[in-house]
Structure 1
Amino acid sequence: MKQTHPLPVHHSWPLYERDRFFELGQLHGVDTLDPVPDLVDIVVPVRPARLGRWECDLIDNDRLNWSDEVYDIFGITRRAAVTREEAVALYGEGSRAAMEKLRAYAIRYRRGFTIDVEIRPAQAGPRWMRLIAAPVCIDDRVVKLQGLKFVLR
């Protein structure tokens, strides 16, 4: 049975608003995530059960670096070697297309983004996950994306 999300979030934001959306150094603090009530009307758990950190190194062939929680979210054995292609294959078709579009926009224009996506974990039923991403730049070049992922309940 397909789960539906009442009001999916998907938007791009400028890097100067990074602190408004997340603070990578405080993954488990209550102030880590900002639901941005003036932009979206979705209740976000104060402390998501599974909140994980991730990176995608654009210089090193989209090499992924995940915290244990991200492996858990996707139902993949912790520390397993996962390619970006394998991870993206676990997204629902519509979610995958929307995420790829925002990702390309983020890289091209050096912007962060937030999106709710439906995933189909390897060991569990479909669920919704919030993906928050921001580019890391060296000079004018985006070298990686990094952010947070957590399951929406």
Structure 2
Amino acid sequence: MRHQYPLPLHHSWPLFERARHFDLGWVERAGVRPPALPPAAADADALERAGIGTWECDLADDSLTWSPTVHDLFGLPRGAPVARADAVARYGEGSRAAMERLRAHAIAHRRGFTLDVEIWSAPARSDWVRLIAAPICVGDQVVGLHGLKCRIPG
């Protein structure tokens, strides 16, 4: 039986609210405090121990950089290169459409977003994952996106 996450979270938010929304990645992880972002090496280790992965997408070529936890969430070998198209194909259809809309909005309007998505880590297994994203800006131009991903307990 497939788990249905009943109340998905999805919304766009301005960059000045970044710290507040990145804290959403720490929901239900008692005893672990959120690090100051962007994470330093020690903070990245704390994220990994808490089951929270970090990711980045360079918009120049859509290349992805994932922490080991994100590879685990997608059911892929740690450290394996991943094409964005292959990663996006693992999203459930409704989740993929919502993520692409919010991603385009984030890039066009320099806004972050939070979205609960269904990820198929294996042909017969899906999990709900909280995706938190914020644009990386150079001047007024968005050059990338980065954020957190964590499995939603349930």
The TM-score with structure 1 as length reference comes to 0.82
Match 2:34 to one of 9, 32, 35: 32
Q: Which residue of 2 aligns with 1:102?
A: 102
CA distance in structure 2 between the partners assigned to 1:48 and 1:125 by the alignment = 23
Instruction: Note if contact 2:10-2:113 (Cα within 8 Å) is conserved in structure 1.
Output: yes
The code of the aligned residue for 1:76 comes to: L
Q: For 1:79-98, list aligned pairs within 5 A.
A: 79-98=79-98
Instruction: Note if contact 1:134-1:147 (Cα within 8 Å) is conserved in structure 2.
Output: yes
Q: Which residue of 2 aligns with 1:43?
A: none
CA distance in structure 2 between the partners assigned to 1:79 and 1:124 by the alignment = 23
The code of the aligned residue for 1:19 comes to: A
Q: Which residue of 2 aligns with 1:114?
A: 114
Gaps of 5+ in 2: 36-47
CA distance in structure 1 between the partners assigned to 2:140 and 2:111 by the alignment = 12
Deviations 1:29-77, CA, capped at 9 Å, x for gaps: 83429xxxxxxxxxxxxx9852100000002x11000000100111100
Number of aligned pairs? Answer: 136
Q: Secondary structure at the match of 1:148?
A: strand
Gaps of 5+ in 1: 34-46
Instruction: Note if contact 2:2-2:125 (Cα within 8 Å) is conserved in structure 1.
Output: no
Larger fraction in helix = 2
Instruction: Note if contact 2:32-2:50 (Cα within 8 Å) is conserved in structure 1.
Output: no
The TM-score with structure 2 as length reference comes to 0.81
The code of the aligned residue for 1:138 comes to: V
Q: For 1:27-66, list aligned pairs within 5 A.
A: 30-32=32-34, 49-59=50-60, 61-66=61-66
CA distance in structure 1 between the partners assigned to 2:145 and 2:73 by the alignment = 19
Q: Which residue of 2 aligns with 1:143?
A: 143
Q: CA RMSD for the aligned pairs?
A: 2.4
Instruction: Note if contact 1:75-1:124 (Cα within 8 Å) is conserved in structure 2.
Output: no
CA distance in structure 1 between the partners assigned to 2:123 and 2:73 by the alignment = 10
Identity level (%): 58
- In the TM superposition, residue 4 of structure 1 has moved relative to its aligned partner by 1.1
The code of the aligned residue for 1:21 comes to: H
